[in-house]
Amino acid sequence: MKDLTPRVTTGPLPASRRVWHAGVLHPQIRVPMREIDLHPSAGEPPVTVYDSSGPYTDPAVEIAIDGGLPRIREAWIAGRGDTESYDGRHVRPEDNGLAEGARLVPEFPVRHEPRRASGGRAVTQIAYARAGIVTPEMEFVAIRENMGRTAAKQALLRDGESFGADIPDFITPEFVRDEVARGRAIIPANINHPEAEPMAIGRNFLVKINANIGNSAVTSSMEEEVEKMVWATRWGADTVMDLSTGRNIHNIRDWILRNSPVPIGTVPLYQALEKVNGIAEDLTWEVYRDTLIEQAEQGVDYFTIHAGVRLHMIPMTVNRVTGIVSRGGSIMAKWCLHHHRESFLYEHFDEICDIARAYDVSFSLGDGLRPGSIADANDEAQFAELETLGELTQIAWAKDCQVMIEGPGHVPMHKIKANMDKQLAVCGEAPFYTLGPLTTDIAPGYDHITSGIGAAMIGWFGCAMLCYVTPKEHLGLPDRDDVKVGVITYKIAAHAADLAKGHPAAQIRDGALSRARFEFRWEDQFNLSLDPDTARSMHDETLPKEAHKVAHFCSMCGPKFCSMRISHDIRAEAQKEGMAKMAEKFRAGGDLYMPLEDTK
Amino acid sequence: MKDLTPRVTTGPLPASRRVWHAGVLHPQIRVPMREIDLHPSAGEPPVTVYDSSGPYTDPAVEIAIDGGLPRIREAWIAGRGDTESYDGRHVRPEDNGLAEGARLVPEFPVRHEPRRASGGRAVTQIAYARAGIVTPEMEFVAIRENMGRTAAKQALLRDGESFGADIPDFITPEFVRDEVARGRAIIPANINHPEAEPMAIGRNFLVKINANIGNSAVTSSMEEEVEKMVWATRWGADTVMDLSTGRNIHNIRDWILRNSPVPIGTVPLYQALEKVNGIAEDLTWEVYRDTLIEQAEQGVDYFTIHAGVRLHMIPMTVNRVTGIVSRGGSIMAKWCLHHHRESFLYEHFDEICDIARAYDVSFSLGDGLRPGSIADANDEAQFAELETLGELTQIAWAKDCQVMIEGPGHVPMHKIKANMDKQLAVCGEAPFYTLGPLTTDIAPGYDHITSGIGAAMIGWFGCAMLCYVTPKEHLGLPDRDDVKVGVITYKIAAHAADLAKGHPAAQIRDGALSRARFEFRWEDQFNLSLDPDTARSMHDETLPKEAHKVAHFCSMCGPKFCSMRISHDIRAEAQKEGMAKMAEKFRAGGDLYMPLEDTK
């Protein structure tokens, strides 16, 4: 029998502690953050950063993957009194691609009865928000987004161009409620995934990132996928999409969900297609609906639904350089074409909403016609679908469902802003969630970078969540190292976007790290960085000794040439000499060029 | 005795040939390009790309590092009849930091007598351009920039936002002359570096990239530095700066220059400082001038001169988070402060110009006060220096010297465009040459990415050359792998910028690669990419067999789910069915949502 307790990565990041902030409206909530301690010589308090890593980085918590994480939201959900436990759908062999024997990933050892809304209610965060209720999830998000800052202090740091985003100095629970009620933010939080720590996706919050994991028909296992999820959240993934397409989809997903501190998204179409042996034209609404319920009961927090790919749009893609590159989009296009019928996802979208509202599954309306090459960017097909996604947003909102909108893809820099502007306009400011975009096609192996450029830009322009791209994009399934590189690259993009938007807390970490750099506090510089391990190991390649960690230089310039060291000398002299006064007499006014003689 | 023939990387890139285009005005010139062959099934001609790699990728050329490259420009220079050979300055022990015995890097085995202008003439490309002369260098650049395209064909592909850049459909030698005459482009081409293949840096040409190499007091050797130069140009570096600061500076530079197919830049101040034992205040104009002549005679193509750091600006840096982070800037600031005097570089700038015009050394006016952190971006000190660089540009132009302007640094995204706009305004459209900029401070170990984002953006806005940043920035001296990652990242940034500017030839390679991707021509996809080796090895990690190179899927999705394959099915069906007509009847007009019943 297989070992049921695979190892995952645990333990704190360097110099870091997981700390907790209690709620006020809801005193029972404990909001996690990470505090990074600085060297005493800094004379600065710890730097508080957003923490998506869950209990895995808390040494006080014993991690047992076969037990799952604590179900922190269970009491909040039950306490609302609008849901019921029920027996739930039974797992069928086709849910796991008919895997059996040694090939079957074991079921997750603990079974929790699913919950659903009772009496046809909407049990979604948007429904509560519209009813004026500030849920524990909303207060959790408010505290989390503030990262311990106070309004007064941070009001000083506003500096940016927000393109219409309106991030307050201090996030209140009421602000979160209002943003969710307006559909401008979502809190993906299936009532059957109470292990997740609530988070928000919206233009007026920190820019979030998603990491994709998932096995494929060709490679990878449950153990690898659970570790990839833990690993991705350790480095900062705010949500994780399980895009598995091979066997064992159901059981692997259970292991992931029960152990995930972040919302999990899926593309239910992938599993539905497995159930019909990969024959797109054999898909039916019934198989799809059954898959939605299966996944909603497991606790999937958001579904990518490719309901915007409609029959009449397919001809628009025929002359593209790269046709349809979205898997979901191509499957639906093939189905539509084969049957000469409108998409069953489009036709049944209101029924899909009825399922989603009973579990609070958020929608990520898929961009099935996103461009797969620079040549196809911003074309008729892409924007026709985006307009349809705007229509579907209105339907979802009418059903009290939470919605975000997926976006491209491959887009050259000068066409990125048009995507954001159009999305805001036609989708009523529902959060945008983009893949990249990749700003050129010519660098397979480096598409985390081609896309990181586009991601930073669209994040600045208002995109709420950035779906990572790893170095393996277009080439193969990412492994653990690729996942980390993808996550760090996208944390860079998201943070660069927060800075440029003028997020009131964004500069705190940059300032702390730069002060550490200027003061040669090497350990602080490593510890404050997005990837302390890599920063430290790169430094140690050339200067491995402990003594070099306090050295006032590095191997890049060596001791004689260190500009920072010289700057300190200058600062010291300036204080001594009253330099400002002295320099005043040298201020040359409008002289173009001062010959040697004049300045002696 | 040491081996005088270190090994460097040679041999063509995959499926690539070095080809030659002859001049028309100057039939003796042969302009190299790289042709990438595609699989016969593509039915497409080879893709021609810009080639900075020199003879190293040409299997017909025998490379002997101790002989140096062919001196292709020697006859052109001599033919102009305005220069003279002379004995030249003799190498002194302090030129090599007093290295001796086994620690002394051997002199380059072949000594070429230096040339200089005769009779006080300006022998610069700008002088010729202003005189209406189209030099062989200018025609070389024109042919090279066209990459084999014809005006007619590429005129179809104009699509971009150029922010005032004006790249013609087809680059003529006269266009190059005019751009150089106006100072809007430079051709860095010291008459003592006739091995280099001419190239242009300017807003109306392809965006260029520079790679920094150089030993430091702590680490690295001549062999490593020559190989780094060859390696950097193999992957696309358009110029290389030798920033050595340790011993053996003179001899290492000779080895680099004699073997470099691209222009070499330096910061003469670094060597001058070595000559005064690293004591900034001991620097004198005489030592500096001697160093300029030493390097000009060796063939350095451009000098970074930090003449914009003036005494009255130093107080502006005292309250910065990271002070002065430019080595050259901090050295000059220290000198100014110590002597309570104006910078000798500023005071002697006209004499510096007299040296430069006698050898055609271009200037890269250094940004000694560039910001070293997000907090310091676009501050008073930075912009005060930039204005001074604008003044110095006018002086250099008056002396018939070629000039470009260096730029930051650490700048959040929303402050990047202001840098470009101000540089264009105050420096009379002289080419801008920026380091990054880095868009956040928090990712040491990944600063190729934090800066690649900013580099792509400022390249789009009009920056002519992007100075790479490697993953080791802030942490240590880059090794060979770091150099490659830095170069590829910056090739991405430069190309993304060309695409966004609407360069008429930029999309050719993207289109070819995307067609290869769509048609599952895996080998073509690898060969057309910026780094074929990495792309191939990533693909082969999961699908190593040769058969998989023609497979219509990859390990990312596996065979059943490949959207591209499904797109082909759709395209085939569309052709069969006359889909456009069929789809017409499904076109739903303005209906918000079509209930199931209506579409049956």
For an interface test with B, which of A319, A440, A521, A523 has the most B Cβ atoms less than 10 Å from its Cβ? A440
Chain B hits for A599, CB-CB cut-off 8 Å, are 341-342, 347
Q: How does pLDDT run across A547-595, given as a tens digit for each residue? A: 677 676 666 666 666 777 778 877 777 776 665 554 444 443 333 233 3
Say if residues A278 and B554 touch (Cβ distance below 8 Å). no
* pLDDT interval class at B158 (50, 70, 90): confident
For an interface test with B, which of A220, A446, A548, A576 has the most B Cβ atoms less than 10 Å from its Cβ? A446
Question: Is the pLDDT confidence value at A29 over 70?
Answer: yes
B507 touches chain A (CB under 8 A): yes
Question: Is the pLDDT confidence value at B582 over 60?
Answer: no
Question: Is the pLDDT confidence value at B408 over 60?
Answer: yes
Cβ neighbours of residue A269 closer than 8 Å, sequence gap 6 or more: A283, A288, A304, A306, A327, A328, A331, A332, A345
Q: How does pLDDT run across A120-153, given as a tens digit for each residue? A: 999 999 999 999 999 999 999 999 999 877 654 5
For an interface test with B, which of A345, A514, A527, A553 has the most B Cβ atoms less than 10 Å from its Cβ? A514
Q: Given an 8 Å threshold on Cβ–Cβ distance, is A564 in contact with B514?
A: no
Sequential DSSP letters for B536-555: HHHHHHH--SGGGGG-S--T
Q: Give the nearest partner residue to A492 out of B449, B495, B535, using CB atoms.
A: B449
pLDDT at A158: 77
Q: Give the nearest partner residue to B325 out of A501, A563, A569, using CB atoms.
A: A563
Signed CA dihedral, A124, A127, A129, A133: sign only: negative
- Closest-CA residue of chain B to A597: B347
Q: Given an 8 Å threshold on Cβ–Cβ distance, is A583 in contact with B311?
A: yes
B199 min Cα distance to partner chain A (Å):
23
Cβ neighbours of residue A210 closer than 8 Å, sequence gap 6 or more: A237, A238, A239, A240, A241, A265, A433, A465, A466, A467, A468
- Closest-CA residue of chain B to A586: B312
- The 3 state secondary structure assigned to B487-506 is HHHHHHHHHHHHHHHCCCCC
Q: Give the nearest partner residue to A555 out of B476, B534, B557, using CB atoms.
A: B476
Q: Which of A99-103, A106-110, B382-386, B538-542 has the highest mean pLDDT?
A: B382-386
Chain B hits for A342, CB-CB cut-off 8 Å, are 586, 588, 594, 599
Report which of B230, B229, B231, B233 is spatially closest to residue B243, judged by C-alpha positions. Answer: B229
Tokens coding B139: 């025609």
A 41-80 residues inside an 8 A Cβ radius of B: none
Q: Given an 8 Å threshold on Cβ–Cβ distance, is A444 in contact with B515?
A: no
Say if residues B461 and B416 touch (Cβ distance below 8 Å). yes
- In whole angstroms, give the CA distance from residue A18 to residue A31: 10
B579 touches chain A (CB under 8 A): yes
A 136-195 residues inside an 8 A Cβ radius of B: 160-161
- In whole angstroms, give the CA distance from residue A95 to residue A83: 26
Q: Given an 8 Å threshold on Cβ–Cβ distance, is B510 in contact with A554?
A: no
- In whole angstroms, give the CA distance from residue B199 to residue B233: 13
Mean of pLDDT values over A461-468: 98
A531 touches chain B (CB under 8 A): yes
Cβ neighbours of residue A370 closer than 8 Å, sequence gap 6 or more: A325, A326, A329, A382, A406, A407, A408, A409, A410, A435
* pLDDT interval class at B200 (50, 70, 90): very high
B526 touches chain A (CB under 8 A): yes
Region for residue A234 given its phi and psi (left: phi exceeds 0; alpha: psi -120 to 50; beta: otherwise): alpha
Q: Give the nearest partner residue to B496 out of A341, A350, A413, using CB atoms.
A: A413
For an interface test with A, which of B274, B376, B449, B450 has the most A Cβ atoms less than 10 Å from its Cβ? B449
Q: Do the strands A83-85 and A403-407 form a parallel or antiparallel pair, or are they unpaired? A: unpaired
Q: Give the nearest partner residue to A518 out of B322, B350, B559, using CB atoms.
A: B322
Residue A226 exposure: Cα atoms within 13 Å on the Cβ side: 27
Q: Give the nearest partner residue to A311 out of B410, B489, B583, using CB atoms.
A: B583
Question: Is the pLDDT confidence value at B591 over 50?
Answer: no
Chain A hits for B350, CB-CB cut-off 8 Å, are 593
Mean of pLDDT values over B520-525: 95
Q: Cα–Cα distances in Å, from B323 out to A63, A572, B32?
A: 46, 12, 44
* pLDDT interval class at B585 (50, 70, 90): very low
Q: Given an 8 Å threshold on Cβ–Cβ distance, is B500 in contact with A439?
A: yes
Chain B hits for A563, CB-CB cut-off 8 Å, are 323-327, 329-331
Instruction: Name residue B42's amino acid.
Output: A
- In whole angstroms, give the CA distance from residue A513 to residue B395: 40
Instruction: Name residue A466's amino acid.
Output: L
Share above pLDDT 90 across residues of chain A, in percent, rounded to a whole number: 81
Q: Give the nearest partner residue to A477 out of B442, B452, B542, using CB atoms.
A: B542
Tokens coding B296: 């000009």
B509 min Cα distance to partner chain A (Å):
7
Question: Is the pLDDT confidence value at B596 over 60?
Answer: no
Q: Given an 8 Å threshold on Cβ–Cβ distance, is A441 in contact with B219?
A: no
Q: Given an 8 Å threshold on Cβ–Cβ distance, is B216 in contact with A473?
A: no
Q: Given an 8 Å threshold on Cβ–Cβ distance, is B439 in contact with A496?
A: yes
Question: Is the pLDDT confidence value at A343 over 70?
Answer: yes
- What pairs with residue A365 in β-bridges? A305, A405
B15 touches chain A (CB under 8 A): no
Say if residues A323 and B570 touch (Cβ distance below 8 Å). yes
Q: Cα–Cα distances in Å, from A384 out to A311, A317, A475?
A: 11, 11, 29
Peptide bond into B160 cis (omega under 30): no
Q: How does pLDDT run across A253-293, given as a tens digit for each residue? A: 999 999 999 999 999 999 999 999 999 999 999 999 999 99
Mean of pLDDT values over B323-327: 93
For an interface test with A, which of B563, B565, B576, B579 has the most A Cβ atoms less than 10 Å from its Cβ? B563
pLDDT at A193: 98
Question: Is the pLDDT confidence value at A297 over 60?
Answer: yes
A 219-278 residues inside an 8 A Cβ radius of B: 219, 245-246, 270, 273, 278
B 333-362 residues inside an 8 A Cβ radius of A: 333-334, 337-338, 340-342, 346-350
Q: Quick check: helix, strand or coil at residue A437?
A: coil
Q: Give the nearest partner residue to A412 out of B394, B500, B531, using CB atoms.
A: B500
Q: What is the mean pLDDT of chain B?
A: 91
Report which of A121, A120, A131, A266 is spatially closest to residue A193, judged by C-alpha positions. Answer: A266
Q: Given an 8 Å threshold on Cβ–Cβ distance, is A456 in contact with B453?
A: yes
- What pairs with residue B404 in β-bridges? B364
Q: How does pLDDT run across A175-203, given as a tens digit for each residue? A: 999 999 999 999 999 999 999 999 999 99
Q: Given an 8 Å threshold on Cβ–Cβ distance, is B439 in contact with A500?
A: yes
A155-159, A332-336, A442-446, A530-534: the lowest-pLDDT one = A155-159
- Closest-CA residue of chain B to A311: B583
Q: How does pLDDT run across B342-376, given as a tens digit for each residue? A: 999 999 999 999 999 999 999 999 999 999 999 99
Q: Give the nearest partner residue to A446 out of B488, B518, B557, using CB atoms.
A: B488
Q: Given an 8 Å threshold on Cβ–Cβ distance, is B554 in contact with A270?
A: no
- Closest-CA residue of chain A to B482: A538
Token look-up 């997981």 returns A18
B424 min Cα distance to partner chain A (Å):
18
Q: What is the mean pLDDT of chain A?
A: 91
pLDDT at A581: 52
Total Cβ atoms within 10 A of residue B426: 17
- In whole angstroms, give the CA distance from residue B436 to residue B180: 25
